[in-house]
Amino acid sequence: MSFIATPQMMSFSEPLLLSSGEKLDHYRLTYETYGKLNAAKDNAVLICHALNASHHVAGVYPDKEDSVGWWDTMIGPGRPVDTNQFFVIGINNLGSCFGSTGPMDINPITQNIWGADFPVVTVEDWVHSQEKLVNALGINRLAAVMGGSLGGMQALSWAMEFPEKVAHSVVIASAPNLNAENIAFNEVARRAIVNDPEFHGGHFYEHKVIPQRGLKIARMVGHITYLSDDVMNSKFGRTLKNEKIQFSTQNVEFQIESYLRYQGEKFSEYFDANTYLLITRALDYFDPAKDYENNLTRALEKTKANFLVISFKTDWRFSPARSREIVKALIENKRGVTYAEIDAPHGHDAFLLEDDRYTSLVRAYFKNISKKIDSTVSE
Amino acid sequence: MSFIATPQMMSFSEPLLLSSGEKLDHYRLTYETYGKLNAAKDNAVLICHALNASHHVAGVYPDKEDSVGWWDTMIGPGRPVDTNQFFVIGINNLGSCFGSTGPMDINPITQNIWGADFPVVTVEDWVHSQEKLVNALGINRLAAVMGGSLGGMQALSWAMEFPEKVAHSVVIASAPNLNAENIAFNEVARRAIVNDPEFHGGHFYEHKVIPQRGLKIARMVGHITYLSDDVMNSKFGRTLKNEKIQFSTQNVEFQIESYLRYQGEKFSEYFDANTYLLITRALDYFDPAKDYENNLTRALEKTKANFLVISFKTDWRFSPARSREIVKALIENKRGVTYAEIDAPHGHDAFLLEDDRYTSLVRAYFKNISKKIDSTVSE
């Protein structure tokens, strides 16, 4: 059993200017913290979430089964990111459906649910809003910002947007931008949602329906890309659901179909369709090199953090080659960077799973950080 | 300009027993032929089609723009499969929507459109029906059966189902069965179609609607898997449709989105939804080794043909590793087999495209076949 986690909220009334030019006059961020902020306030670690996760990074909620945080294997007392040493902050992104201001909230101007009118947010917008919260917690400089996948993009962005405020940036299973194939998969997911007649142009809340069909397809497509070909073959292969083929085009024949349908079903029951659109778009848009003639080295020139970059060999969604682009650009800027390619079989999902080679590396890296923190505190 | 092609039809009233145990009492097959059958009737080449193609393999229809056959670059006078030498037969599969008996036809028993009640057909069923047609054309033995992707599965199946009737089997960009990931992509496509409210359980014809939304998604998913990551990056990359980002989750932002939507739209206007379900299921089911304890070598023991097997390095849907499984099993059976892995950048689509290394090989292979035919004729 893990420790008890308690979600908290913080409201902001200073307007947040977004990349799109729009602004959010008021917003709230939901977050959780684990461990204690030290006197020097230099032991804080911010965890950024990926597509479908939230602020609930570690621990459990009382009396709620299956409520363990999404990165509980990585973060907690005695874990690789040790909450006996670090004050860890899990934060829910703007536009999400898990507590921070998002499409399911009331638009204060129209007094209707935002729905599809919620402003489009970018990775940089998230980072800017996260900085307000970090600031309000009295933290001037984070010991580390850490995330996997889209969370890794935020960790990278923090080092660019607030170079003075990040000591270490931990970028896992990520990329400096999405390639065409990834955008293509996101677009299939979005079209499945938008074309669902129950999407109602993104204002389905008023009709008291949910575009569940679209969400299911979106999640099924996503799931395929999170797993490696090999893991899918070893987990499911061509195993049939029944003893024999049923000769049916509409019923489940293979175990892999059953698995995907189940994942789609589950997802469609808890995830907001507009949030899915917003978050996949933030993924598509992220491209810090674009303002530097696509020169990532120049884009990363302003960073001051040290970096830990990790990729997984079987991850075809965010392949090692993409992580190496980041590493190369950092080295060209003479930044401190540790890079590892973990030979895990699980594809993109590997960043969420326990693998000793992976977790030991993170543990060692954070142990090094904590040594410097201790010495800072004792000064 | 290519030559003029003329579709023909042949009706069969001897019942066809299907793998499912069902039977088709009457059916018709649509086909085209190019070139002339020689006196010895040993220069016939059967071309089997893949997912969305048809009997219209080569040539054009008079007064119809864009009506060039889907493998016109490969088949025709002076082409790699030279119709000055060979009598080439293009055939449309049962269950298709392009002329052979399929879900859009009237079920003679109920007098209603078959729709989703059309019997599920397998690769072996197709091969059995094709043999009836080949037989009716007076051909005892095919000089070659040839196909790419699902068509390659049929070419392989012919060599097993009718070992005496196939001199050469040409299996391109294919596999001895689909892996879990391929089944998964097919299932996403099928669910998108079946969950479309306008699918009406597969009886949408009566409602005078078409599940276009589902078909679009199905085609978009398919298209992603036909292209290699590299080709998608070089063709589309992160190029925007407009000069600047529009900050929209529902409108097209990137060229790749525009391309996929266009492909989906076009496809949804001409392809039948029930055919899509049937054909993807035939792909899923094909697995000749399954009756031999998954031992492909034993499954291929009964073949007598010589084989040309070709794969493409960037094809991640039917990877070279899968073709090598076929080659290994053939070699273990001491069958004549020529194998080539073409370093084409285009992914699975490469089998439809012109590449000198690829077409020269096919040309040389068929030149060798034609030499033997000539000598047979002169005997």
Q: What is the pLDDT of residues A290-315, one digit of tens each?
A: 999 999 999 999 999 999 999 999 99
Q: Is A353 on the interface with B (CB under 8 A)?
A: no
Residue B147, pLDDT above cutoff 50: yes
pLDDT digits (tens, 9 = 90+) for B234-270: 999 999 999 999 999 999 999 999 999 999 999 999 9
DSSP A39: T
Interface size A-B, in CB pairs within 8 Å, comes to 168
Task: Give the pLDDT mean for B294-298.
Answer: 98
pLDDT digits (tens, 9 = 90+) for A139-190: 999 999 999 999 999 999 999 999 999 999 999 999 999 999 999 999 999 9
**What local confidence, expressed as pLDDT, does residue A147 receive?**
98
Q: Which residue of B has its CA nearest to A246?
A: B20
**What local confidence, expressed as pLDDT, does residue A148 receive?**
98
Q: How far apart are CA A189 and CA A264, in angstroms?
A: 12
pLDDT digits (tens, 9 = 90+) for B203-235: 999 999 999 999 999 999 999 999 998 999 999
Task: Give the pLDDT mean for B332-337.
Answer: 98
Q: How far apart are CA A327 and CA A340, in angstroms?
A: 10
pLDDT digits (tens, 9 = 90+) for A85-127: 999 999 999 999 999 999 999 999 999 999 999 999 999 999 9
Of all residues in chain A, the percent with pLDDT exceeding 70 is 98
**What local confidence, expressed as pLDDT, does residue B1 receive?**
62
Complex-level ipTM: 0.95
pLDDT digits (tens, 9 = 90+) for B38-48: 999 999 999 99
Q: Which residue of B has its CA nearest to A119?
A: B247
Does A188 sit within 8 Å of B260, measured CB to CB? yes
**B2-to-A147, A242, B243, B310, B359 alpha-carbon distances in Å:** 57, 50, 40, 26, 18
Q: How far apart are CA B42 and CA B215, in angstroms?
A: 41
Q: Determine whether A125 is an active site residue.
A: no
Task: Give the pLDDT mean for B301-305.
Answer: 98
Angle between helices B123-136 and B273-285 (to 10 degrees): 100
Q: Determine whether A315 is an active site residue.
A: yes
**What local confidence, expressed as pLDDT, does residue A379 receive?**
34
Interface of B with A in 178-197 (CB under 8 A): 178-181, 183-185, 187-188, 190-192, 194-197
Residue B374, pLDDT above cutoff 70: no
Residue B279, pLDDT above cutoff 60: yes
Residues B106/B113, Cβ–Cβ less than 8 Å: yes
Q: In whole angstroms, how large is the CA radius of gyration of chain B?
A: 21
Q: How far apart are CA B6 and CA B44, in angstroms?
A: 17
B contact test, residue of A121, A177, A186, A191 with most B CBs within 10 A: A191
Q: In whole angstroms, how large is the CA radius of gyration of chain A?
A: 21
Does B190 sit within 8 Å of A249, measured CB to CB? yes
Does B116 sit within 8 Å of A250, measured CB to CB? yes
Q: Which of B116, B191, B257 sits opposite A220 (nearest CB)?
A: B191
pTM of the full predicted structure? 0.95
User: Long-range pairs for A265-270 at CB < 8 Å and ≥24 separation?
Assistant: A265/A216, A267/A52, A267/A215, A267/A216, A267/A218, A267/A219, A268/A210, A268/A212, A268/A213, A268/A215, A268/A216, A268/A219, A269/A212
Instruction: Calculate the average pLDDT of chain B.
Output: 96
Residue B28, pLDDT above cutoff 60: yes
pLDDT digits (tens, 9 = 90+) for B187-202: 999 999 999 999 999 9
**What local confidence, expressed as pLDDT, does residue B377 receive?**
43
Residue B64, pLDDT above cutoff 70: yes
Residue B378, pLDDT above cutoff 60: no
Identify each DSSP E strand in chain B by its residue range.
8-12, 16-17, 23-24, 27-34, 44-48, 75-76, 81-82, 87-91, 144-148, 168-172, 306-312, 337-342
Chain B residue numbers with beta carbons less than 8 Å from the beta carbon of A196 are 213
